[in-house]
Amino acid sequence: MDNHVAANVFGTLGAVLWSLQLLPQIWKNWRRHNSESLSAAFFLSWAMAGVPLGVYNISNNFNIALQVQPNILIFLSLWTWSQCKYYGNKWSLKKLVPLAIVIGAVLGGAETGLVFALRVAFRKGHKWPSTLMAILSAVLLAAGVLRHYIDMFRTRSDAGLSLKFALLDASGDVASILSVIFQPSLDILGLVIYGTDAENEESLEVDGPSDSMNYQ
């Protein structure tokens, strides 16, 4: 469904919502000075998922908003991961900050390199690397949520998760799905990626041990 204006509007809306999605979680962690029941692996997996997602969106010439969006995910996910390590694992800032910078640089470098690699592959008529990026992104997004479920049931608590984070993320996914739909050509794999994340967030909103919930 080719509608350039609609694609850009929904893409921008999705990027804005994804820009905001983790801020309630970051704020909650900072205000409480803990990352209770949150898995650092959850957010590290999401940061890693931003790499293949960014590569896929850029190499397939999605609108600018959708190209920027995964990098916002990487940044905010690393920020939240850092909070989990600082509050939960009691890492010192001297240890945490350099490591976070290195991880961010590695992820950024990997994304840049893979974008150029996929463009070369496209020129040679190879489409499978793009498919691989889509699958890898969906798997990493789902793996992050799965790890959260494991920790949630292990601790019997989901009190550290911000409901506003889950709602903003799901809303951003819906807007992104609409943006993909309005692209010049319908991209099924793009729909799968954002649909997978939206389904994951919906499950976070409705599932989990109810006796210890303390969403904010």
Please report the pLDDT score of residue 205 as a whole number: 47
pTM over cut 0.85: no
Report yes or no on 145 lying in a domain. yes
Min mean pLDDT across 29-43, 53-67, 108-122, 134-148 is at 134-148
Task: Note whether 101 and 78 are within 8 A (CB).
Answer: no
Report yes or no on 216 lying in a domain. no
Q: Which residue has the higher pLDDT, 196 or 66?
A: 66
Beta-carbon contacts of residue 51 (< 8 Å; ≥ 6 apart): 70, 74, 107, 110, 111, 114, 137
Report yes or no on 13 lying in a domain. yes
Average pLDDT, the chain: 78
CA-based nearest residue to 133, from 36, 42, 18, 48:
48
pLDDT tens, residue by residue, 28-45 = 888 888 887 788 888 999
pLDDT tens, residue by residue, 77-108 = 999 999 999 998 999 999 999 999 999 999 99
Report yes or no on 202 lying in a domain. no
Please report the pLDDT score of residue 23 as a whole number: 83
Report yes or no on 212 lying in a domain. no
Range of the domain at 15: 4-197
Count other Cβ atoms within 10 Å, centred on residue 187: 18
Instruction: Burial-class residue 81 by CB neighbours within 10 Å (0-12, 13-18, 19+).
Output: buried
Q: How much of the chain, in percent, has pLDDT values that exceed 70?
A: 69
Beta-carbon contacts of residue 24 (< 8 Å; ≥ 6 apart): 162, 164, 165, 168, 216
Report yes or no on 203 lying in a domain. no
Q: Work out how many domains the chain is built from and give that number.
A: 1
The full length of the chain comes to 216
Report yes or no on 208 lying in a domain. no
Strand residues in the chain grouped as ranges (E): none
